[in-house]
Structure 1
Amino acid sequence: MGDNMSEINALKQYLNKKFAIKDFGTLKYFLGIEMAHSHRVFFLNQRKYVMDLLHEAKMTDCKPACTPLDNNLKLKTHDDHIPNLSYYQRMVGKLIYLTITRPDISYVVRLVSQFMHSLSMDHLKIVHRVLRYLKGSIGRGIIMRNNSHIHISGYIDADWAGILSIASLLLDSICLWEAT
């Protein structure tokens, strides 16, 4: 990826000598990730992947949720274990892959992935809540812009009281990175 066509062509010729390659032109879809671009913007999303996930979970007609997690959630261990453990594990695994282009679900996916072998119906309800959230935000993804500079900006929305040690560690590492 770049804007120097002579360098790109030289790399293609070099790779073609070492391996049997084909140039299919501009990349539009790869490993479930859709890519769209213009001169200054590159957009990644997994819309089709989400649609397939909703279809597999039989939730294509579900009511969308505004957030991936209920903010009043009090997760506790119950004895009402779900009968199909592999279904839960498969759904969580697919949600983990989806965090590539949907960092907004990373926290809740991390939360549900902690209960892969000891879970209850509450955990499955959280997974279904994430799927309902994805239904309402299916076109979201990651936008990368050509800003003509190399500054990286990151934004987080965190419960500072609940994860104060992680937040301070993150801020310390950002400050160290900016200093170097």
Structure 2
Amino acid sequence: MATSPNGLFLSQRKYVIDLLQEVKMMDCKPAHIPLDSKLKLDLEGELLSDISYYQRLVGKLLYLTITRPDITYVVSLVSQFMHAPTEAHLNVVKRINSKIPQGLHCLGNYHEQHGHTQIMAYTNVD
């Protein structure tokens, strides 16, 4: 986190780089959108041999949604398969994590009358 008179800048860049190194995806090509709109996830397919690996990655992505509101929907979608993930689910998780974020800039205004700072953040995610 960095502060300035213009507000706060929150970044989890190092967190994402560490995560990409963990899953051996540092050389991956970033996806512009975190989910293919034609993809339908279901319970069909062979279960992953290491379910805890999937659960750990999804948990780390949940933490990442603090500064990446653009991935919130797809992370909530893949988290629905924590009990029985398949290779298809893991591929979606890897696609989510392929882009290294810049950070989130929050504008701040100090209100002397109320004695607190108001933080506002804007995103184009609907």
Q: Please state which band the TM-score falls in when normalised by the shorter chain.
A: 0.7 to 0.9
Bigger proportion of residues as helix:
1
Q: What is the aligned partner in structure 2 of residue 167 from structure 1?
A: none
Structure 2 partner of 1:114: 80
Shift of 1:153: 6.7
What does residue 143 of structure 1 align with?
105
Alignment pair present for 1:99 and 2:60: no
Q: Does 1:64 align with 2:30?
A: yes
Is residue 41 from structure 1 mapped to residue 41 from structure 2 by the alignment? Answer: no
**TM-score normalised to the size of structure 2?**
0.83
Could you say which structure has the greater relative contact order, defined with CA pairs below 8 angstroms and 6 or more residues apart? Answer: 2
The answer as to whether partners of 2:7 and 2:109 remain within 8 angstroms in 1 is no
TM (norm. structure 1) is: 0.60
2:20 aligns with 54
**Cα RMSD over matched residues?**
2.1
Aligned residues: 120
Q: What is the CA deviation profile of residues 26-74 of structure 1, one whole-angstrom value per residue up to 9, with x for unaligned ones? A: xxxxxxxxx1122123100100000000001111111111111111111
> Any stretches of 5+ residues in structure 2 without a counterpart?
112-117
The match for 1:86 is 52
CA distance in 1, matches of 2:105, 2:125: 18
The structure with the larger Rg is 1
Sequence identity percentage: 52
**Letter of the aligned partner of 2:108 in structure 1?**
N
